[in-house]
A and B are shown apart, each in its own frame.
Chain A
Amino acid sequence: MVATLALRKDRHPFDRAAARGATLDVRDVSHHFEFKGQPLPVLQRISLHVRAGEFVALLGPSGCGKSTLLRLVAGLEPPRFGRLLVDGEVVEGPDPSRVVVFQDPTLYPWRTVWSNVALGLEARGLLRSHRERVGAALELVGLAGFENAHPHQLSGGMAQRAALARALVNDPRLLILDEPLGKLDSLTRIAMQGELVALWQRAGFSALMVTHDVEEALFLATRVIVLSERPAHIKAEVVNDRPYPRRRGDPHLAELRREVFAHLGLDATW
């Protein structure tokens, strides 16, 4: 894991490295929870592949198990059946090369913005040698000057930016995004969608994002995977090869949106 942080001094720490993104293989994964003594199936035979540097969005009705799939990919829980492989190696636990950005910023309220962002480096004992990355990450998300603020002093958008910086400072090869913009107001959300694309293009990580915003999925992702109701299985896959930077008014995106809505069974109101 330390190797991923080996930086060349002549390059900005967040510039795209050749094929730095990780590949993800989800192989026939099923998962269930115990609920009142009964197994409650959440994921049903999910298989998907994320290529290095790809941006994949998982779209599905709420409560369908999307977030559970992300927890499995992150290594926070082991799958009941099937296997998950990152770069060909079985996921056996959390690893800082696969960082999650949650729907809530979950910044530690007792730490300043700077120390929140420094969390991952500190946890791995890399803070002393890679100190400058913290400031660089804050600058990247537009939070320079807020180093000493405490989380309760930040707006929702700023807090989520800090959470993003906390992930990026670890130079992840796979960024796992669990509805990271879900709780923001629509204007902040649109602004941050643009920033997210720019970050992804610049840093070259692979991204796996859960969302239930169709526009968001189509604006960001190279591929949209539509999941069914719980237990979730893959219903459809929509490839979006529009070039970046994308335009929200792009008629091709409107076409794709209709297609995605049809897969979700929501095209009647179209």
Chain B
Amino acid sequence: MSDTIVDRVEKAPLPTIRPWFGASSRLWIGGLAASAAWTAVALLTRLWPDTPESDWAQTGGLAIAFGAFAVLLPVATVAGLWSPMLRKLQRSAPWLIVLAFFFAAWEAATAKLGLLPMPFFPPPQAISEVVVDDWARLAESVVASVRLLAGGYVLGAAIGFVAGVAIGWSRAIGYWIHPVLRFIGPLPATAWLPLAFFVFPSSLSASTFLIALATGFPVAVLTWSGVAGVNSAYYDVARTLGASQSFLVLKVAIPAAMPHVFVGLFMGLGNSFAVLVVAEMLGVKSGLGWYLQWAQGWAAYANMYAALLIMALACSGLITLLFRLRDRLLSWQKGLVRW
């Protein structure tokens, strides 16, 4: 068979696309567009004068911060050629552009045009001012909140887990604990607040109890349903292989129930945030909840937004941490819910 021109063309090796160009062209465009958007925000903040009656001390500083971010983006883009971790950030380019527009609109509507009523809607520079000036108190509040939350959550999760396993495993224990759980569990933990604050010796121990209660209920119920729902064939297998009762609990029932346990831990974490903030607002004299209450009392709305922002970051961070832990422990499971 002779080679026709067509054959020869078709057999010719395809031109190889240079990988660095193909892989990074979208990165370049996204990174540069985001950088341009943030440059625009920086210029808008810097060059457009604030409303005459305002006294924002940090307008210039914020403009520099926006500008620095705008410079950082192309740097990160270039660095992304070498670092696969930075390259992953290219997915966030559309978000960064939208965020730039959001900041521009916020800046214009508050500091520049004064469209939104003051002092309820402060401009970004007022919030950054709070973070810069009041960071010590904010950090102190974060530490206090995390400490209180960690104590209550760990206690509640541990007790809830043990109770859930016990109810799921032993009919006798279930007989006694189950009705208590059914009667008290659905009650919002915050309903105990007035009682807890005079029964417990300190507001800290009272709040720890409330957070533990809020965490423990979902953890106990879901652990229990996890243990009760274990495929009985798993037990048959282990029993024919000579497993003891403790082996059945520790090596069969608990690992099999772990996906449920994590749902409970997740729900308990959400509950514990709510109780933490309420407890801090109503009794504990520290923490982000207390800071929020305090800021509102002084009509320091910028402080309130700053505290809310930090709280959102902290809560989201803790949930992320929990999901990371689950992904590590339950890597054997298919189709995990992403966070």
- Residues of A with Cβ closer than 8 Å to B? 1, 74-76, 94-96, 98-100, 102, 104, 106, 108-111, 119-120, 122-124, 150-152, 166, 170, 176
Contact = CB atoms under 8 A, between A and B. Distances in A.
Interface residues of B, number: 22
A110 B244 contact: no
Contact of A110 (B237, B241, B255): B255
Interface in B292-339: 330, 332-334
B233 interface: yes
B243 A102 contact: no
Contacts of B236: 76, 100, 102, 106
A75 B239 CA distance: 9
A110 B332 contact: yes
Given A102-B237, A109-B332, A152-B334, A123 B255 contact: no
B233 A96 contact: no
A207 to B, nearest CB: 15
Interface of A is mostly: loop
Interface of B: 231, 233-234, 236-244, 247, 251-252, 255-256, 258, 330, 332-334
24 contacts: A1-B242, A74-B240, A76-B236, A76-B239, A94-B241, A96-B242, A106-B234, A106-B237, A108-B256, A110-B255, A110-B256, A110-B330, A110-B332, A111-B255, A119-B237, A120-B241, A120-B242, A123-B243, A123-B251, A124-B241, A124-B242, A150-B332, A170-B241, A170-B242
A106 B231 contact: yes
Nearest to B237: A106
A232 to B, nearest CB: 20
Given A102-B236, A108-B252, A123 B332 contact: no
A228 B258 CA distance: 43
A166 B234 CA distance: 13
Contacts of A120: 241-242
A124 B242 CA distance: 6
Nearest to A124: B242
B242 A123 contact: yes
A123 B241 contact: yes
